[in-house]
Amino acid sequence: MFGALSRIGIILSNIFDREGDVPLKTPHIKFVVSNLILDCLRYWVGTYRVDGFRFNLAAIFGRNQNGSPMSNPPLLESLAHDF
């Protein structure tokens, strides 16, 4: 179990910059990060039967590169339709 979590940590550490922000300026990185989040949530629901999630600072999922709120944030839309 912890081996998979360690691999996820390595992937995330390669995606996040020094300040802890995801450089979401390129569509490819946005796609990779969004899919990683959704895949992890699906895994935890299916394998460990987790029935709720808490996202600290989740407002960042609904903002664009300038920090302005988006009307239909893609990741939140995916979460709403997936779970």
* Mean pLDDT calculated for residue range 61-76: 86
Q: State yes or no: pLDDT of 39 exceeds 60.
A: yes
Segments making up each domain of the chain, as ranges: 2-82
- pTM beyond 0.75: the answer is no
- Kindly report the three-state secondary structure assignment for every residue of the chain: CHHHHHHHHHHHHHHCCCCCCCCCCCHHHHHHHHHHHHHHHHHHHHHHCCCCCCCCCHHHHHECCCCCECCCCHHHHHHHHHC
Cα 40 from Cα 74, distance rounded (Å): 17
